Chains A and B, each alone.
Chain A
Amino acid sequence: MRVIDYAVKIRVKPDNSGVVTDGVKHSMNPFCEIAVEEAVKLKEKKLVKEVVAVSCGPQQSQETIRTALAMGADRGIYVEVSGKDYESLGPLQVSKIMAALAKKEEAQLIILGKQAIDDDCNQTGQMTAALLDWPQGTFASEVSLDGDNVKVVREIDGGLETIRINTPAVLTADLRLNTPRYATLPNIMKAKKKKIANVKPADLGVDLTSRLEVLRVDEPPQRQAGMKVETVEDLVAKLKDAGRV
């Protein structure tokens, strides 16, 4: 999916209603790049027949699909969402769209990034699996497809967990899953021949109304300057002053 580029310095809008996006560089979500790379790798190993790249959003989302095509996806599906609908587009809406598309395309595997670096929800994969009643392998750092099931090594707080789930399934990509290839110019030129289908959410029977309302967006508090002290006694005195001890 298309997000503000990771290297851009984010600015909050003066009215605190959101973040400045006009004229700001956007690119594919880093975790989604890893997801696309994994899908293309599976195709190169001849374990899957076709890779379809999907993105929902305004017209510029098609550029993100083109990047996926340049990385090796076979065709793209662009779901047109703009204006107010786009502002309230969140994991629930996207997962409804993904579920509808998965049924329509008879997909065997859905691979997503584990979370978007703009909203950090980490929900779309899980919601999609729930809507489809498919098993899920989230935070995947290793994926082995074997016939009608998938072995997934997951990154969890305690370390790694290995599970085996049946296909069709939903996977979400974690940072260490693979190293995404760069979409170089020759590949982008070749990818221009690949098709991107245009779909509207209404065609899929998806209702985009959001149950969430963003009340306010604020910058994180500025870091206070540090203070240097000479002795331990000084440190204790300062802590007492600040009411911390």
Chain B
Amino acid sequence: MSVGAQTSILYFLVSERRAASFVCDMANPLKGEVIRLYKTLLYLGREYPKGAAYFRERLKFAFMKNKDETDPEKIKQLVARGDHVIKELEALYFLRKYRAMKKRYYEPEN
């Protein structure tokens, strides 16, 4: 395993302990959901145009803001919002790449 992959996994383990403190008083399946969401977003953030550090700061802030939430319905809503953000990021990355390739390799359509 490369050094890069190892440090990434270490980071996930550390953040899992932090994420666990976000969700102290809830049912177990939801706790797993939140941790999964955090890890997935963190991984996606590595390619963020403004930099991985910028993304990580805002991600952590967003999760910490809701750390005392206990209502399972609210938590499900927040997780759904997080899933939506994942889709938006994937679309952003795809569009950026597609547009760059189109600009570099194809004649402009007039």
Contact = CB atoms under 8 A, between A and B. Distances in A.
B94 A60 contact: no
A62 B44 CA distance: 20
A185 B40 contact: yes
A47 B61 CA distance: 46
B54 interface: no
Interface string B77-110: 0000000001000100110111011101110000
Given A6-B100, A6-B101, A59-B2, A182 B106 contact: no
B110 to A, nearest CB: 15
Interface residues of A, number: 17
**Majority DSSP secondary structure for residues of B touching A:** helix
A243 interface: no
A184 B101 contact: no
A180 B97 CA distance: 11
B5 interface: yes
Given A60-B2, A63-B5, A179-B94, A184 B43 contact: yes
A166 B66 CA distance: 58
B56 interface: no
B39 interface: yes
A184 B94 contact: no
Nearest to B12: A185
17 contacts: A6-B97, A7-B96, A7-B97, A30-B97, A31-B101, A62-B2, A63-B2, A63-B5, A117-B101, A175-B98, A175-B102, A175-B106, A180-B94, A182-B93, A184-B43, A185-B43, A188-B43
